Chains A and B, each alone.
Chain A
Amino acid sequence: MKPRVIPRLDIKGSNVVKGIHMEGLRIVGEPRELARKYYEQGADELIAMDIVASLYGRSPDFDLMRSIANELFIPLTMGGGIQSLHDINNFLRAGADKVAINTFAVRRPELLAEAVRQFGSQCIVLSVEAKRDGADSWEAYVDGGREHSGKDAIAWIKQALELGVGEILLTSVDFDGTRKGFDMELLAAVASFCPVPVVIHGGAKDSASLAQAIIEGKADAVCAASILHYDEWTIGDLKKELEDTGIPVRVSDRNGGGHPSSANL
């Protein structure tokens, strides 16, 4: 499959926020407006996460999530504070196609197996917030990159794959928001064994950094936030430059490239 370019909205309250190393969150825009903008720019998918739901132990704002979904006609991954199958169902009803689970799966891995049984692998994404703790090792963090879990990120991903998750959303806490390129060592460590798609997130800098993650890092999808929120890049420009370097991307021209004027309507 062609590599996907995926914008990510981190949501706190009614705003899209962005920090550095998942801290120092600043408001960057309105969720529906940004979702619409990235859809029109040709996003292949969109990720929307309520990043404080688990930290504050509260449910995400499903009405807000639904309002985002209503703007878009592409696949959506949503998450934040998912504790139960009931929460997953609420996200799906709000318009999500996939849900991303981190904190409560770390606390109770069986949640992943139950979710896969109920909704299918294709619906369940493991979100991993990895922070380097050694030369070749990373610890999985929880609660929006704030708290230690004590789990080795690589071992945790392997365990979650056994439980049936269909995709890995791999965030580098160290690189998040830095705009210095992805953590290629983390990506390589995961892509080397992972049989399901890996979405790399944290550090997107420019089209070259995306190309590196796709070609060298074998990422199935690249996720970007800061460079899009601060209008340094549009998704269209990123994809165009990827295509120019020989990486096939989805062409998202209107009407699938057809010519409406020639249609007999």
Chain B
Amino acid sequence: MKIVVVDYGVGNIHSAIKGLKRFTDNVVLSEDPAEIRAASALVLPGQGAFKTGMEGLRVRGLLEEVKQAAAAGKPILGICLGAQLLLAKGFEFGEHEGLGLLPGKVAHFPALQDGAKIPHMGWNAIEEPTPGKWKGTALEGLRSGAEMYFVHSYILQPTDPAHVLATTLYGGLRFPSVIGKGNMIGCQFHPEKSGEGGLRIIRNFVELI
């Protein structure tokens, strides 16, 4: 087994590696297409703008590699920006094409109630949309309502409700905080910064490989 954390030139990638290394030594950071092709699972970490992220993948020749890994059913974990890139389109600083591994888009938070500030930053609960939804996913074993650490201004909007694995309530808005399908999962929050609950997700992901 080899997990490749994809280095595509955006920030905040080291803490993801640190989290994975709690559970396995088979983790490498790489921007090399061949190494990514040979991986048994991919992690797309990252923080930053949608366009910068896609551009970072493109210039390194990694767009096709990530798409093929998904087509082959390899486990993929997207974190924050990495989760957003899984969707088809982003609307941060203009309209941009995403990886399109899931239909849907990434859009700015709409106006929120109760003076809720943007970015949405801090601990908030993730909830299971329907009982049993987390079974067999990296969220298995978590309590619905477990709190995770968020820092974001844009939200995941998958087209198909079946791709919403968890939701979070903020400023009167319930938005998808985890999306996924098959072996692919994208977390809007940072599991590697979310204490033991977040580590549980990382451990589950590693054990599902």
Contact = CB atoms under 8 A, between A and B. Distances in A.
Interface of A: 1-2, 4, 39, 42, 44, 69-70, 73-75, 92-93, 95, 97, 122, 166, 195-196, 250-260, 262-265
Contact of B145 (A4, A195, A257): A257
Nearest to A44: B123
A257 B142 contact: yes
B196 interface: yes
Contacts, number: 96
Interface string B179-209: 0000000000000111111111000100100
B92 interface: no
B111 to A, nearest CB: 16
A256 B123 contact: no
A256 B196 contact: yes
B142 A255 contact: yes
A95 B18 contact: yes
B147 interface: yes
Interface of B: 11-12, 14-15, 18-19, 117, 119, 121-124, 135-136, 140-143, 145-149, 151, 192-200, 204, 207
Given A44-B123, A70-B18, A256 B200 contact: yes
A165 B55 CA distance: 28
A144 B105 CA distance: 47
A69 B200 CA distance: 19
23 contacts: A1-B122, A2-B123, A4-B123, A42-B195, A73-B196, A75-B149, A95-B14, A95-B18, A97-B193, A166-B121, A251-B147, A252-B196, A254-B196, A255-B197, A256-B142, A256-B143, A257-B145, A258-B143, A258-B197, A260-B141, A263-B140, A264-B140, A265-B141
